Structure 1
Amino acid sequence: MSKLFLSISALLGITQVHASPLVAVDVGHGLVDGGAISARGRNEFEFNRQFAGILATTLEERRITVRRVNFAGDIGSLDERPRQAAGSDFFLSVHHDSVSPAYLQSWTWAGRELSYTEVKRGFGLFVSAQNPDPGSSLLCASTIGAMLRRNGFVPSTWHGRKHLAADAENGVWYYDNLVVLYRTTLPAVLFEAGVIKHRDEELELLDRQRQARMADAVATGIAACLFVTGKSARD
């Protein structure tokens, strides 16, 4: 891992790639399967689509071409997501996290009985060892995580309960059997932006300035990673 950390350190000052790579940004879940429910009753898909839109715009401002996947929320098959991303240089699936029922508490919000947690918060990044390019996937995940940490975001250590560490310091974990990560032809990372079941973090994840700062960190990490790997579908 020492070479990886050296690579990340060398890349932290890079904000734009020289070529014009193609990045697929996938909105996790959809209109039918909305994903997790936040502490205040919003479905995860709403969080995912909002942040993915900000990230896509931020990438384009860096002259990175973006392929938008599932922004309409109408993709029903997990296999269809990597199929639509085929031909891109990198695939990022945007999600927001929850926690198992054993760690939930009940409360009433706006007249609704809902649940929340106080034990889990923070971002997480996932890669699969079964991905066709696990090295690039891990490098990009670690670079994204390093940039997030550099900008004040804190990774969740909770994932270590279920997943092997790929780069725990930067919030990266293995999730080998995740369809969107291994049934693809390109480097792929799943990004959990934060825990919407945590009442405080839910509000933070909806803060526009914070969203912009997080999107900038993720976009910088992607740009830096693609720069060092030299990947561009347009070359």
Structure 2
Amino acid sequence: MVAGFRPRRFVIVAIAAFVLLPIEVSDARWLPDFFKFPSKHTAAPKHAKSARPARLARHRAAAKPHRTRLAALGPAILPRSALKPASTPCDPATFRLVLDVGHTAESEGAMSARNVAEFVFNLRLARLIEEKLKTEGFTETRLLVTEGKARPSLFKRVAAANGLDADLLLSIHHDSVPNKLLEDWEFEGKKSHYSDRFSGYSVFVSHDNPDFKTSLSFAELIGKELKADGLHYAEQYTQPIMGRDQHPLLDKETGVYSYDELIVLRKARMPAVLLEAGSIINRDEELEMDSPERQNMIGSAVVAAVKEFCEPRQAILGPL
């Protein structure tokens, strides 16, 4: 040890001098390495990409940076973005949600217990949600109705959604069960099939979506709103009896499942969620899904989820 050198006093003086320096976060790369703490999250994985649409990126780039001073650090200046959560609020007037009507007039999806095509249910509910969203100020909402046979229409709808420069995609469907679980009956003199064993809504997301985290957040909001209205989610997807239609349950409180292979979810360039609004192969629930009361309940739940998804988040340190 060098004679006359007092390490404790030196450290205190050095720290005090450092705190009093007017450092700006964006220009702090000059700091010596011993002031930086290593983190396993420092380097982003090679496959990680920004999932925000270009339009939102342009909005953020155009916004003027706001800075605030932290009393604890003296004159240090930090950008406002450093004090906020990762998620950012959206402007309802410019936020673009695409409502994808599941299936097509040529490929109508499942058939209900009373011989009504799923596409009819999907289109009616999607139109109702579109109307409600636009009434609430989400005027950029787009209704996507696709034509064509089943598989080709999947790629057409994804291409159309991506071309709309959307911020969020919600695909509207109504549920059924695998053919092996169907039972026979007659309705109005016509042969039909039903299964009263299962009922309820379900919400699906894909891990392969470029913004899985945001997709999951929105899916959970939808499930939360539906649950708050007294509805329950379909639990059969966790059961082995579903065979290849069995899917992992990601949120047991709100009924969110993963369905990674769904083209409409994994190929969309924006956060994407698929909603099975209810079972139309269940005879009792089909009648409920056909009622204006249930349709309005589901439509209002989706709108409430969108509004909560877009509401301004408070800064970590409160209003600045």
TM-score by length of 2: 0.64
1:78 maps to what in 2?
Answer: 154
Q: CA deviation at 1:17?
A: 6.2
1:212: how far off? Answer: 0.8
Query: How much does 1:228 deviate?
Result: 5.9
* Separation in structure 1 between the aligned mates of residue 92 and residue 260 of structure 2, nearest angstrom: 30
Find 2:270's aligned residue among 163, 168, 186: 186
Structure 2: 5+ residue stretches without partners: 1-88, 240-245, 314-320
- Sort the Cα spacing of 1:17 and 1:207 in 2 relative to 1 into closer, same or farther, 3 A: farther
Amino acid at match of 1:22: R
In structure 1, what is the equivalent of residue 109 of structure 2? Answer: 35
In 2, are the aligned partners of 1:67 and 1:85 still within 8 Å (CA)? no
Say whether 1:69 aligns with 2:144: yes
1:45-71 C-alpha deviation (Å, 9 max, x unpaired): 00000000101111111111211101x
Percent identity over the alignment is 35
Q: CA RMSD in A?
A: 1.8
Structure 2 residue aligned with 1:4: none
State which drifts further: 154-163 or 32-41. Answer: 154-163
Q: Give runs of aligned pairs for residues 110-149 of structure 1, distance below 5 A.
A: 110-149=188-227
1:226 Cα deviation after fit: 3.0
Change (3 A) 1:228 1:126: farther
The answer (yes or no) to whether the contact 2:107–2:148 under 8 Å persists in 1 is: no
Rg larger in structure = 2
Distance 1:132 1:228 in 2: 23
- TM-superposed CA distance for 1:82, in Å, is 2.0
Deviation at 1:104, TM superposition (A): 1.5
Contact residue 17 and residue 223 of structure 1 kept, 8 A: no
> What residue in structure 2 maps to residue 213 of structure 1?
297
**Aligned equivalents of 2:194, 2:295: Cα separation in 1:** 21
- 5 Å matches for 1:99-110? 99-110=177-188
Query: Offset of 1:223 from its aligned partner?
Result: 2.0
> CA contact under 8 A between 2:91 and 2:310: conserved in structure 1?
no
- Residue of structure 1 in register with 2:285 after alignment: 201
CA distance in structure 2 between the aligned counterparts of 1:227 and 1:205, rounded to whole angstroms? 29
Of 223, 231, 239, the residue aligned with 1:153 is 231
Q: Hey, what's the Cα distance between the residues in 2 that align with 1:225 and 1:104?
A: 38
**Distance (whole Å) between structure 1 residues aligned to residue 117 and residue 227 of structure 2:** 26
Match of 1:93 among 171, 175, 180: 171
Query: How many residue pairs align between the two structures?
Result: 213
What's the TM-score once normalised by structure 1's chain length? Answer: 0.86
The one-letter code matched in structure 1 to 2:147 is: D
Code of the aligned partner of 1:83: A
Provide the rounded CA distance (Å) in 2 between the counterparts of 1:50 and 1:119. 25
Q: CA deviation at 1:24?
A: 0.1
Separation of aligned partners in 1, 2:203 and 2:110: 17
Q: Answer 1 or 2: which has greater strand percent.
A: 1
What secondary structure does 2:169 align onto? strand
Provide closer, same or farther for how the CA distance between residues 228 and 85 of structure 1 changes in structure 2, counting only shifts above 3 A: farther
Query: Residue 227 of structure 1 corresponds to which residue in structure 2?
Result: 311
Which secondary structure does the structure 2 equivalent of 1:177 belong to?
coil
1:151: how far off?
Answer: 1.1
- 1:213 to partner: Cα distance: 1.4
Distance 1:19 1:81 in 2: 24
